[in-house]
């Protein structure tokens, strides 16, 4: 039909053609091994498996690469020794893998998947594919909380808690302000978030202005740039459980996101209580994002970009795209963190790496942006 | 049997003095095809949204099967009443099939998998709206009229006893406008309540079993189309002198011209 013809090759650049070929290939493979009609169900599962394999590969790369490169065999040897499969010990490799790299990689996996799923949730709930988790002020609030803790001379744990509390406080303020605005709905939430964001950005500026320029201000700037460097087993211990639960909850809530993204009246007409489900999902996503910030500082672009890539691969249906979003976010942040600690002799803050690569990758995604989709 | 009714229903926007709707008493029965006529801003959409429970009435109450709408759980209301909005804004590129499948959420539950019965209902709705060949296309690639058909298919898949449609013909091509009215008449004949707002009195005359005229927030006329859709009433409603012409069970209006 006309619409089909209108969308053929000329307008669809490299990305679309690449995806079209990939889809044809996947369809051929799936229809060759399964009866007709099953191919449509196979595609998301196949992409999920490929994404999982990608995560495993990125973890292996991250374990091997760094200022002290290790061969895959030496890395596997460390795990073999842990599982009592091999007798010999490689003490240096064991320290590098177990103390320096593994906790950091696990943190990247958790933070990446939580941020991506949080971003996808925000995009669906606010019915806007260009929204990221900082929409309601969680980032500015967390930055203010962390800066305040740094200025007060708090320990690393206090800074983490300050960031977490500040993030929640900012979102809470935004939600409260939105309740006082006429009309309600998504617009009131957006405006409430905008005001909350502005308040906490101003407070952050105030703290930076008052901070000691010799040591406190650099510490604040350093924290704001985001890094997984401080992530050790100790830091992972308290945050990993809640973060896994929150991310899994967001993935499980995927069908709700399909309905909420239709709009308030349509969601209500399908029997979904918008008044309950929307705040509940915002709270879940905000908690997840606040935890990631408390752990790694401000990591931009992951929450905005990764859901678009997942939609590109498996379509918009959240039941299919949320697991892929979690996997891509996890693998993507592991790779970004590996770049951050391996590209130079010193360490580039992770936030800078994700911002730079994220912005460039988003240009490619935007080429696919048609009618609000990616 | 009365499916949906309201008593002394009124609605006023917060912090505004005048009522958008006032003293609305209605009893809508299964098997009726009810057309709602009125000027832009007369409160037609507000009335539908009140009847669906999307808005809380300022006065009066809405009843579903004789029981206050507020006492029904949201999912149970969705199994009884389906709604088609004036326009659908497609934010994400769901496939047409997925959009129609969402109509089964009130039956399968939010987290539930679709049963074979749900699958049959989806396939039937796609076929009824002529969407089979679009089934795997993203809705964002469809035209406004095609999207409207998708939302209609979703409402049909919902398999509710009542179907409330807000200007469903807006954006549809002429052929689909005629097919839609025939389909709505068929749904009413199957025993459903179908209520739609429209700006096409001639179509309502031909197909509706009952026509309501909403003017200045009140029901000005309520009855069979032969009595309500008259040149005199339409002239008064729209402020344009109209003449009527009856032919083969249809009624046509044309503007009265004072040409010499």
Say if A31 is an interface residue toward chain B (CB within 8 Å).
Answer: no
B203 and B255 co-located in one domain: no
Say if B243 is an interface residue toward chain A (CB within 8 Å).
Answer: no
Angstrom distances, CA of residue A256 to CA of A67, A272, B172, B243? 45, 8, 30, 52
**Rounded to the nearest 5°, which phi and psi values hold at B163?**
-130, 115
Beta-bridge mates of residue B163: B82, B194
pLDDT tens column, A145-198: 999 999 998 888 899 899 999 999 999 999 899 888 877 778 888 899 999 999
* Cβ contact, residue pair B110, A256, below 8 Å: yes
Are A304 and A130 in contact by the 8 Å Cβ rule? The answer is: yes
Distance CA B108, CA B78 (A): 12
Q: How far is A119 from chain B (nearest CA, A)?
A: 14
Residue A6 has a pLDDT of 36
Say if A316 is an interface residue toward chain B (CB within 8 Å).
Answer: yes
Say if B173 is an interface residue toward chain A (CB within 8 Å).
Answer: no
B183 and B255 co-located in one domain: no
Mean pLDDT for A256-276 is: 93
A134 within a domain of the structure (yes/no): yes
B85 and B33 co-located in one domain: yes
Mean pLDDT for A343-371 is: 81
- Predicted TM-score (pTM) of the model is 0.86
A95 within a domain of the structure (yes/no): no
Number of separate domains in chain A? 1
With a cut of 90, say whether residue A129 has pLDDT above it. Answer: no
Cα angle B34, B36, B40 (rounded to 5 degrees) comes to 165
Write down the ipTM of this complex: 0.90
* Cβ contact, residue pair A40, B143, below 8 Å: no
Which CATH number belongs to the domain containing residue B9 in this structure?
3.40.50.300
B188 and B248 co-located in one domain: no
Report CA torsion sign: B185, B191, B192, B196: positive
B55 and B178 co-located in one domain: yes
With a cut of 80, say whether residue A43 has pLDDT above it. Answer: no
Mean pLDDT for A96-122 is: 94
With a cut of 60, say whether residue A15 has pLDDT above it. Answer: no
Token duo for residue A252 = 């499980």
* Cβ contact, residue pair A372, B140, below 8 Å: yes
Give the confidence band of A370 by pLDDT, cuts at 50, 70, 90: low
B215 and B252 co-located in one domain: no
Q: How far is B8 from chain A (nearest CA, A)?
A: 23
* Cβ contact, residue pair B95, A315, below 8 Å: yes
A347 within a domain of the structure (yes/no): yes
With a cut of 50, say whether residue A134 has pLDDT above it. Answer: yes
In terms of Cβ atoms closer than 10 Å to its own Cβ (0-12, 13-18, 19+), residue B15 is exposed
Token duo for residue B73 = 């759980």
Angstrom distances, CA of residue A161 to CA of A83, A145, A150? 35, 8, 11
Pick from A8, A43, A270 the residue to mutate for testing the B interface (most B CBs within 10 Å).
A270
A352 within a domain of the structure (yes/no): yes
B139 and B161 co-located in one domain: yes
Beta-bridge mates of residue B246: B251
Spatial CA neighbour of A138 closest among A125, A127, A122, A124: A122
Say if A373 is an interface residue toward chain B (CB within 8 Å).
Answer: yes
- B73 vs A contacts (CB less than 8 Å): 271
- Find the CB nearest B94 among A252, A256, A317: A317
Residue A25 has a pLDDT of 57
pLDDT tens column, B134-190: 898 999 888 888 888 899 999 999 999 999 999 998 878 888 888 889 999 999 999
- A269 vs B contacts (CB less than 8 Å): 52, 54, 78, 81-83
Sheet holding B33-38, edge to edge: B81-84, B162-165, B193-197, B33-38, B210-215, B218-223
- Lowest-confidence region among A41-45, A331-335, B218-222: A41-45
Give percent above pLDDT 90 in chain A.
50
Residue A235 has a pLDDT of 80
A116 within a domain of the structure (yes/no): yes
A258 within a domain of the structure (yes/no): yes
B95 and B15 co-located in one domain: yes
With a cut of 90, say whether residue A373 has pLDDT above it. Answer: no
Number of separate domains in chain B? 2
Question: By residue range, what is the domain housing residue A246?
Answer: 101-366
**Rounded to the nearest 5°, which phi and psi values hold at B156?**
-70, -40
Instruction: Give me chain B's average pLDDT, please.
Output: 91
B124 and B253 co-located in one domain: no
Give the confidence band of A105 by pLDDT, cuts at 50, 70, 90: very high
- Lowest-confidence region among A103-117, A128-142, A271-285, A323-337: A128-142
pLDDT tens column, B3-48: 999 999 999 987 777 888 999 999 999 999 999 999 998 899 999 9
Give the confidence band of A29 by pLDDT, cuts at 50, 70, 90: low
A152 within a domain of the structure (yes/no): yes
Question: By residue range, what is the domain housing residue B234?
Answer: 230-260
* Cβ contact, residue pair A371, B92, below 8 Å: no
Which CATH number belongs to the domain containing residue A213 in this structure?
1.10.3470.10
Residue A27 has a pLDDT of 52
Total count of residues recorded for chain B: 260
- Lowest-confidence region among A134-143, A178-187, A324-333, B38-47: A178-187
- Find the CB nearest A270 among B49, B73, B106: B106
Say if B212 is an interface residue toward chain A (CB within 8 Å).
Answer: no
Q: Which residue of A has its CA nearest to B133?
A: A1
Give the confidence band of B258 by pLDDT, cuts at 50, 70, 90: low
Cα angle A73, A79, A83 (rounded to 5 degrees) comes to 135
* Cβ contact, residue pair A270, B102, below 8 Å: yes
pLDDT tens column, A198-252: 999 999 999 999 999 989 999 999 888 888 887 788 888 888 999 999 999 999 9
A88 within a domain of the structure (yes/no): no
Distance CA A200, CA A146 (A): 12
């Amino acid at each position: 039909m006309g619409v089909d013809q209108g969308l053929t090759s000329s307008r669809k650049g490299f990305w679309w053609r690449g995806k079209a070929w990939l889809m044809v290939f996947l369809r051929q493979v799936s229809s060759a091994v399964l009866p007709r009609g099953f191919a449509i169900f196979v595609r998301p599962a196949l992409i999920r498996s490929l994404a999982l394999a990608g995560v495993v590969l990125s973890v292996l790369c991250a374990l091997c690469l760094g200022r002290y490169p290790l061969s895959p065999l030496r890395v596997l040897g460390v795990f073999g020794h842990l599982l009592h499969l091999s007798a010999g010990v490689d003490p240096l490799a064991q320290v590098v893998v177990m103390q320096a790299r593994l906790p950091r990689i696990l943190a990247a996996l958790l933070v990446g998947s939580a941020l991506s799923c949080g971003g996808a949730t925000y995009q669906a709930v606010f019915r806007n594919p260009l929204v990221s988790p900082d929409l309601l002020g969680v980032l500015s609030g967390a930055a203010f909380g962390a800066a305040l803790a740094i200025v007060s001379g708090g320990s690393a744990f206090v800074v983490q808690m300050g960031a977490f509390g500040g993030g929640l406080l900012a979102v809470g303020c935004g939600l409260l302000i939105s309740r006082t605005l006429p009309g309600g709905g998504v617009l009131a939430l957006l405006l409430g978030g905008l005001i909350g964001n502005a308040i906490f950005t101003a407070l952050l500026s105030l703290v930076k202005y008052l901070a000691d320029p010799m040591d406190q201000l650099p510490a604040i700037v350093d924290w704001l740039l985001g890094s997984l460097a401080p992530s050790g087993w100790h830091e992972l211990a308290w945050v990993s459980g809640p973060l896994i639960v929150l991310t899994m909850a967001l993935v499980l809530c995927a069908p709700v996101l399909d309905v909420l993204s239709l709009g308030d009246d349509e969601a209500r007409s399908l029997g979904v209580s918008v008044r309950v489900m929307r705040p509940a999902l915002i709270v879940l996503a905000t908690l997840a994002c606040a935890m990631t910030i408390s752990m790694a500082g401000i990591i931009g672009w992951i929450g905005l970009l990764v859901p678009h890539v997942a939609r590109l691969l498996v379509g918009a249906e959240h039941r299919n795209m949320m697991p892929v979003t979690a996997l891509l976010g996890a693998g993507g942040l592991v790779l970004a963190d590996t770049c951050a600690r391996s590209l130079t002799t010193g360490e580039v803050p992770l936030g800078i790496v994700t911002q730079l690569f994220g912005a460039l990758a988003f240009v490619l995604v935007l080429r696919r942006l048609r009618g609000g989709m990616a | 049997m009365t499916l949906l009714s309201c008593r002394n229903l009124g609605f006023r926007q917060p912090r505004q003095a005048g009522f958008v709707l006032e003293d609305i008493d209605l009893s809508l029965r299964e098997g009726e095809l009810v057309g709602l006529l009125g000027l832009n801003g007369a409160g037609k959409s507000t009335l539908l949204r009140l009847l669906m429970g999307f808005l809380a009435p300022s006065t009066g109450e809405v009843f579903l099967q004789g029981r206050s709408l507020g006492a029904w759980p949201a999912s149970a209301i969705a199994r009884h009443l389906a709604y088609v909005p004036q326009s659908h804004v497609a934010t994400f590129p769901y496939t047409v099939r997925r959009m129609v499948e969402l109509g089964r959420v009130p039956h399968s539950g939010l987290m539930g998998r679709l049963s074979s019965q749900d699958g049959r209902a989806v396939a039937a709705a796609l076929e009824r709206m002529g969407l089979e060949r679009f089934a795997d296309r993203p809705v964002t690639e469809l035209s406004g009229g095609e999207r409207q058909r998708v939302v209609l298919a979703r409402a049909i898949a919902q398999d509710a006893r009542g179907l409330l449609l807000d200007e469903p013909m807006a954006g549809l091509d002429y052929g689909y406008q005629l097919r839609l009215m025939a389909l709505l008449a068929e749904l009413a004949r199957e025993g459903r309540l179908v209520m739609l707002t429209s700006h096409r009195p001639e179509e309502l005359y031909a197909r509706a079993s009952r026509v309501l005229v909403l003017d200045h927030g009140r029901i000005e006329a309520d009855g069979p189309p032969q009595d309500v859709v008259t040149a005199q009433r339409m002239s008064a409603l729209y402020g344009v002198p109209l003449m009527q012409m009856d032919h083969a069970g249809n009624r046509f209006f044309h503007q009265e011209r004072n040409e010499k």
